[in-house]
Every structure is written in structure tokens, then in C-alpha cells.
Amino acid sequence: MKKLILSLLALSLTAPTLQAGELHKVMGKREGRTNHSFMYEEKDCKTCHQGAPKGPASEAACIECHGSYDEVAASSADKTPNPHDAPHWGADVPCTVCHSEHQPAKVLCNDCHQFAFPNFSK
């Protein structure tokens, strides 16, 4: 785990605007995000599926590597609108509400709005 965190940290240092990866096949029929390739290479499901491999992943793993909601919101503060700090909820929307690892992802905001988020990987 520590090795993974350190390698991701190194990766994020070289890519300050690291964005969610595109979907691509990783194991058999399963798809995953390109920026999580190193976890698939090591067959490490438990990094995200901390409870059980077949149960849904929670945000604890996201936060562990990417930072708290407030930190993520601060990192996108220059965006208008800030996808991680909407006036409706503040920085209080769990990551998996929008970001999906194994399926196409969908922005919660666009249930009602039609924002363009060019960095969002669908």
C-alpha cells in the first residue's frame, strides 16, 4: 500500500492536473481507468475494494490517494464552475457519485445543468 501511495504521489507531482483515466480493458472483460493501470498490473483489487472484492468500493480509498474532499475542491478552484465544490452541497459529494471505475461515468451536475467538463473522463 505504501509503495502504491508513493508511486501515485510521484505521478501526481509530475502531472499536477492529473485527471481520471479513460476506460480500457484491464482483466478479461473488466474495464478500468488508465490512471489506475498500476493497480491492475499488480492485481490489487483490495486497494479500492477494501471491504470485499465483490462489494462496491467506497470513497475511503479515493481519499487516501487523491486527498480529502476539501483538498480536491481546492485543486480545482480555478475551474468555473468548480465541479468539486457546488453551491448545492459544498465539498461534500462522495467521489463515486460521478467517477465510476468499471462503467461509463456521469456528472451529477448534468442531471440538471449542461456544463462542459473537458477533463472529465466518461
Site residues (CB under 8 A) for other proteins? 51, 55-56, 86-90, 92-94, 96-97, 106, 108, 111-115
With respect to other proteins, which residue has the nearer C-beta, 53 or 56? 56
With respect to other proteins, which residue has the nearer C-beta, 16 or 87? 87
Strand partners, 26: none
For residue 42, the minimal CB distance to other proteins (Å) is 25
For residue 15, the minimal CB distance to other proteins (Å) is 27
For residue 110, the minimal CB distance to other proteins (Å) is 10
b/e burial code for range 104-116 (CB count within 10 A of at least 16 → b): ebebebeeeeeee
Neighbour tally for 43: CB within 10 Å: 9
With respect to other proteins, which residue has the nearer C-beta, 3 or 54? 54
Alpha carbon dihedral 35, 37, 39, 40, in 10-degree steps, equals 140
What is the 8-class DSSP label of residue 33? E
